[in-house]
Structure 1
Amino acid sequence: MSIIDKFVHSMTLAGACSRVLFLDKELLVFPLLSLMALCGVFGGLFGPVVATGGLEGLMAYASDPEQVMNDPAYWVVLFILYFLCFFVVIFFNAALIYCAMIRLFGGDPTVMDGLRSSWRVLPHIFAWSLFAASVKLVLDFLASRSDFLTRLVASGMGMAWGIATYFAVPVLVVEEVGPISAIRQSASTIRKTWGEALITHVGLAAFHSLILLIAFLLGITGSTYIETQPAIGVSYIAAGVVIGLLSILIVTTLNGILRAALYVYAVQGKLPEAGMFDETLLRDAFERKR
């Protein structure tokens, strides 16, 4: 399959996901809630620093990377930040994937269905967030080392981690298992299907990058008008911000729907009952190892 074929294939899959989203526009609520909660996390952690006038000291501290990397307090704070972010993202991703599965099997999900599902597996989400934050911290620590080989190993481990955990959230939602079992089942699902090189996100990522580029160009254009024609400048900037945020919400939702559909097909070996995905699309979403 050529690069162009992969891109076209990914766009076709995105179109199938968009039909699910068209039927359940409320699925956009989950990434929106996730984004709002993440803003709350960062506000809660760094808001007091800004409020107490400690921003200047924080910037001075961050200006010496070597000192920062050798400070245990930095890694403790980073772990807390990673844990909270993982918890928020996984909680709402799990809700999104659960609702997507309801739709794929012919149901009509609500936002509360998804939230109740995530609440039901809250202990597993908590455990997974701790585990994922620990792995991320170790990878970051290795990547912060000065030697090239260590950074290369960390990069490879990060890629392997991303592949192995691709189906971790669907496994948490469906099987209600802990992090180790989720990783094992996720990796097994990928191995026993069609390979490890996922190509579908290439198209979605390209589409998202294009939209973000348009939003960025609108913002740049607006900034050139700020001094001479403020109203026009603000309009361009506002349009760029809105387009950028909408693209994040839509692409995140499409990714969740896609992951749910691929998981159903990978585990059960059959199409979702809603009939929105062609079997060839799902089968070719993974590139078979040679």
Structure 2
Amino acid sequence: MALRARSNGVGFVDRLKTGWTLTKDSVGVIREYPKLLVFPLLAAVASVFFLVFLFLPLVLADVIGGGLEYVVLFVLYFLTTFVSTYFAAALVYAANETFHGREPEIRSSMRAINGRLGPIAVWAVISATVSVLLRTLEDADNPVASILRSLFALGWSIMTFFIVPVLVFEDVSATEMFERSGETFRDTWGETLGAGFGITAIVAVLGVVLVLAALVVSAPLVAAFQGAGVALAIVLVALALVFTYLISQTVWGIAKTALYVYAAEGTTPSQFENFDFQTLGGRTERRATPGSRSDRRPGESFVE
């Protein structure tokens, strides 16, 4: 089910405030279940592996030219999109487990997503194709092409924002996944943008604090043993940035899942009791949609 958005006089500033609340509640879920950080970590490791593995072929293809570089880029985009979507889907599944009072498990969440490998692969092919297209527009020395690329990239980001929850919770075709993702973004656009500002602010502050802490900790060693101190500072700063990245990705996954669950089910996850979903958009009218969950219990998904 999807919920139709209707204006009820809620201003954008109010949406930003509730977006901040949504972000804090998402961080609260991480505090309760820190194991959720494993999913973006696995996605990052897998993506780095493919980047390293295909680095030399990409360089050689770029030297040879003739369009071969775009073929290698397509393979790279497909593989990285597939693995990142797979682990992001596992995170969404695990987050939904917590929303419905169940303990999230890493292995069981990944096993559940194994039943959605087909739709994930289809999405990865489409995403890789679009990424190559955007790359060709970027390489074109044409201001019009640059403008078109920027506009298309923005629209693409909006239309695909909720792709991962749709892949996890709905049995939809390739075209329907974009329709459902776009509908969910439309129905939650204020909360989504508000959450974006909230997540950006929290992550930025966290990153700055961790980097400063790393520099402070390594400062005495730098003064005594410059080489070892600088090496320690580099390692600690790198760890701080990695941890900040993991927090950012996990918070986004949890927040997207919460927004999607409310937009699709009309229910508020218990971890988000401070976040008033119902009054934000006046979404009280439901309508049937392709691949809807009307025939399933709350919290049930297509993955098993």
Of the structure 1 ranges 193-202 and 240-249, higher mean CA displacement relative to structure 2 is found in: 193-202
Paired positions, count: 270
Matched, 1:186 2:195: no
Letter in 2 for 1:30: F
- Is residue 38 of structure 1 aligned with residue 35 of structure 2? no
TM-score normalised by structure 2 residue count: 0.77
How far, CA to CA, are the matches of 2:12 and 2:184 in structure 1? 25
Which of 1, 26, 33 is matched with 1:24 structurally?
33
Which residue of structure 1 lines up, in the alignment, with residue 251 of structure 2?
254
Name the structure 1 match of 2:139: 144
Equivalent in 65, 69, 75 of residue 74 of structure 1: 69
Query: Given that residues 87 and 110 in structure 2 are in contact (C-alpha distance below 8 angstroms), is that contact kept between their aligned partners in structure 1?
Result: yes
* Shift of residue 228, structure 1, vs aligned partner: 5.6
- After TM superposition, the structure 1 stretch with the greater mean CA deviation from structure 2, 241-250 or 36-45, is 36-45
Does the aligned pair in 2 maintain the 1:211–1:244 contact within 8 Å? no
Unpaired runs of 5+ in structure 2?
1-10, 282-304
The aligned residue for residue 198 of structure 2 is: 203
On the 8 A contact 2:163/2:177 being kept in 1, the answer is yes
Equivalent position to 2:171, from 155, 173, 176: 176
| Deviation per residue, 1:64-93 (Å, 9 max, x gap) | xxx88x640111111111111100100000
- Superposition pairs for residues 1-290 of structure 1, below 5 Å? 9-46=18-55, 49=56, 58=59, 71-193=66-188, 198-213=193-208, 225=222, 229-272=226-269, 274-280=270-276, 284=280
Residue 215 to residue 271, structure 1, CA distance change in 2 (3 Å): closer
TM-superposed deviation, 1:168: 0.9
Q: Is contact 1:20–1:276 with CA below 8 Å preserved after alignment? A: no
| Whole-angstrom CA distance in 1 between matches of 2:157 and 2:103 | 31
Give the direction of change, closer, same or farther, for the CA distance of 1:282–1:142 in structure 2 (3 Å limit): farther
| Partner AA of 2:196 in structure 1 | H
Aligned letter for 1:258? Answer: A
- 1:147 is aligned with what amino acid? N
8 A contact 1:226–1:232 mirrored in 2: yes
- Listed as ranges, the gaps of 5+ residues in structure 1 are 286-290
Tell me which of the two structures has the higher relative contact order, counting C-alpha pairs closer than 8 angstroms and 6 or more residues apart.
2
Residues in 1 aligned to 2:121 and 2:37: alpha-carbon distance in whole angstroms: 23
CA distance in 2: counterparts of 1:71 and 1:215, whole angstroms:
46
| Amino-acid identity (%) | 30
Q: Is the 8 A contact 1:189 1:266 kept in 2?
A: yes
Over aligned residues, Cα RMSD in angstroms? 3.3
Distance 1:9 1:226, change over 3 A: farther
One-letter amino acid matched to 1:37: A
Change (3 A) 1:164 1:196: farther
Contact 2:20/2:194 (8 A) holds in 1: no
